[in-house]
Amino acid sequence: MSVFRLFISFLSDVIVKSLSCLRESINNFSNTYTTALLAYVFTLAGDLETRAHLLQHLDSVAIKQASSTGLRQQQKHQLLSVEISSYVLLAKLSTSHTAEDLGYASSIVRWLTTQQNHYGGFSSTQVNMGQPSTGGTSCPIHFVVSVPGILESGSKNSFCVSLSQPSSAVLVKVHLTGKDSQKILLEKGTSNGFHKCFQFSVPSVEAEEEQQFEVSVKGNDFYSREIKRVLIKVFKPKTFIQTDKPIYTPGQTVQFRVVTLDTNLKPSIGYYNIILIKDPYNNKIAQWANQTAEGTILQLSYLLGDGAPEGFYRIVAQIGEQRVFHSFKVQKYGLPKFDIVVTIPKEVSVGQDTFQVTVCAKYHYGKPVDGNITVSVCRPLKNQNSCTTALIRKDDVSLTSLCKTKQKQV
C-alpha cells in the first residue's frame, strides 16, 4: 500500500502493468479478502470504475444488521472479517466520498466496535500468528515466556511461563534446540491460565554455542510459535592470589593465600599444579608443587632474606594450562614520623607583589617540628595564551626569574 501512497501522482510503468494484471482478476469473487484488498488498491490508483465494481460485489455479501455492516470470508475464517471490513472502510474513505459513502462507512465502524475483545484490540490473524480461530469472537490467548539470554553450560536454570485464560484446552511446548540435539523442556496441556517457573538442565557444551529456545501454544482455534536465540557459554572458575600487604622490607615474611571461586562466587576445592615466587630478576626463589586447598583456601608463606633485592616480586599459580599472577614490592622504607601541610591561595592576581604561603609540620602525636623550611615558587615557562614554550632572549631584562625561593627557621 505504501507504493501507491508515495507515487499516486505519477504512476510508473511498473505500477501501470501491475494494475493491468490485477484487472484480469476482478471478476473472480471466490476470495472475499482478496476482493476487499483489490477495492482499496484501485481506490488509491484512482480507478473509480473498477472500485465501484468491486464494492458492489462486497456489498452483496456483507453481513447487514440493524445499524452495522461487516464482511466475512467464510465461516471457518471468521477472524479475517475484521481485516476485510477494514479494507472496505479504507476504500470508502480514501477518495472523495458522498453522503451515502459516509453512511456506509459509519455502519462498518459500528460493526467493528462490536468485534473488540476485552483488551480493546481485535482477534486478528496477525495477532495469532498461525491458523485462525474457528470459535467466533472469543478472546485471544496471550502468553509470555522469559528465559535468560545467556546460560551457563551444564548448570541448572529456569524459565517462567505466563498464559492467559484460554477459551479451550491448549498444549504448551517448550524446546531447546542445538546443532545436533533437541531437548523438550516443557509439554503441558491445560484448560486454565497459569504463571509458573520451571527448572531445567542446560546442555553441556565444549565451547560457546548458540541454540534456539522455541515456544509453541496450540489449541483447537489457536496456534502460535515463537523462536528466540540463547547463548550457552562455558564459564571457568576464577583463581585469585592475595598477600597480607603490598610492600615488604628484607627479612619479613610474605603471607599469601590462593583461592578459587566458582561461577556463584563460592570457594571451591582447587588443585594447583605449581605455585612459585620470582624475584625482580625473574629468578625462581620458591616453589610448591601439587598443592590442594584445605578448607577451600590455600595458605602459604615465604621468608625474605635480609639481603633480598629491592623491586617487584611475582607469585605465579598454575592450574592446568591457566596461569594467575600477583605482584608485591620489596624495599627498605620507614614509616613517616611527621606530616607537612602546605596552604596557598587558589588564585593570585597579576597585580600582587606578594602572596602568603603557610607551611605546617607536625609529628603524629601533635607536637610541631623544629627545623629549616625551604619554599620555592616557580612559574611555568609558557606563553600566557599558548601551550608552546615561550621564546626568551638573554637581553630581555623585563622577565623575572622563573623561581623564587625563601628559607625560614622554625
* pLDDT > 70? residue 116: no
In this prediction, residue 164 carries a pLDDT of 87
Per-domain boundaries in the chain? 2-128, 143-233, 238-330, 338-409
Question: What gap in Å lies between CA 322 and CA 234, rounded to an integer?
Answer: 15
CA distances from 35 to 12, 50, 112, 122 (A): 23, 11, 19, 21
The verdict on pTM exceeding 0.75 is: no
β-bridge pairing 150-152 and 156-163 = unpaired
- Fold equal for 143-233 and 238-330: yes
For residue 193, the SS3 value is coil
pLDDT in tens, 278-323: 999 999 999 999 988 766 788 999 999 998 999 999 999 998 888 9
pLDDT in tens, 359-395: 898 888 888 888 888 888 887 766 555 555 555 555 5
Cell of 172: 504448551
In this prediction, residue 79 carries a pLDDT of 52
Instruction: Say how far residue 94 (Cα) sits from the centre of its chain.
Output: 42
Fold of 2-128: Glycosyltransferase (1.50.10)
In the predicted model, what is the mean pLDDT of the chain? 79
Question: What gap in Å lies between CA 406 and CA 409, rounded to an integer?
Answer: 10
* pLDDT > 90? residue 36: no
Q: Are 409 and 359 in contact (CB under 8 A)?
A: no
β partners of residue 257: 242, 299
Q: Are 166 and 123 in contact (CB under 8 A)?
A: no
Instruction: Say how far residue 344 (Cα) sits from the centre of its chain.
Output: 49
The H-assigned helical ranges of 143-287 are none
Task: Determine whether domain 238-330 maps to CATH 3.40.350.10.
Answer: no
Task: Determine whether domain 143-233 maps to CATH 2.60.40.2950.
Answer: yes
Q: Report the Cα–Cα distance between both ends of the chain, in Å, rounded.
A: 92
pLDDT in tens, 336-351: 788 889 999 888 888 8
Question: What gap in Å lies between CA 369 and CA 408, rounded to an integer?
Answer: 13
Stretch 85-112: mean pLDDT, rounded? Answer: 79
